[in-house]
Amino acid sequence: MADDVMKRAARVKLLLLDVDGVLTDGRVTVHSDGSETKTFFIRDGIALVWAQRAGIKVGLLSARHSPTTPHRAAQLGITLIYHGVTSKLATYEQILRDHHLADDEVAYMGDDVVDLAVLSRVGLATAPADCVDDVRVRAHWVSHARAGEGAVRELAELILRAQNRWEGIVAGYLNEPGNANARA
């Protein structure tokens, strides 16, 4: 891992994510009644819960309005939800003002050209493995995993490791009451 990426990750206070093509594989199934279905990867979700428990704010920033986005966010305890936005950059700037954050305190994961304005501003610009080339060449870090298949988990774990919080999460599970096999 590049030392520069770890230094950037150590400063992160807000992990901001695009939804379609980052938390999902980008596919949306539209049913005959107009409802839709998306698939979210469970390991991405638990990593976002751990990040929040460690004190990192997590937010979703999507140009597409979708009823599944706030539903999934609620399951994960995410309260910073911005979907159906016309300008990701304007919304990002509002998020910074509302939460008293600087660019270098934000990590953002996006996958397509609609994410470039935000990616160009944040302290840690990231992308899933299957992002478009225009994003790949501008990202500080690209996951090994594809969107909706663990890319967000990789990023959350990277940030938690850079902030020396990962081992505490692992230890919490190893040291659960009743675990006679826990090692010191």
CATH code, domain with 86? 3.40.50.1000
Residue 182 banded pLDDT, cuts 50, 70, 90 = low
The answer to whether position 183 is within a domain reads no
The answer to whether position 56 is within a domain reads yes
- pLDDT tens-digit series, residues 15-53: 999 999 999 999 988 999 988 889 999 999 999 999 999
> In this prediction, what percent of the chain has a pLDDT beyond 70?
96
**Average pLDDT score over residue span 96-102:** 98
- pLDDT tens-digit series, residues 118-133: 999 999 999 999 999 9
The answer to whether position 86 is within a domain reads yes
Reported for 121-129, long-range contacts at CB under 8 A and 24+ positions apart, including other chains, are 121/89, 121/92, 122/16, 123/8, 123/11, 123/12, 124/5, 124/8, 124/9, 124/11, 124/12, 124/159, 126/155, 127/151, 128/21, 128/22, 128/152
The answer to whether position 158 is within a domain reads yes
By residue range, what is the domain housing residue 7?
3-166
Residue 87 banded pLDDT, cuts 50, 70, 90 = very high
Q: How many domains does the chain have?
A: 1
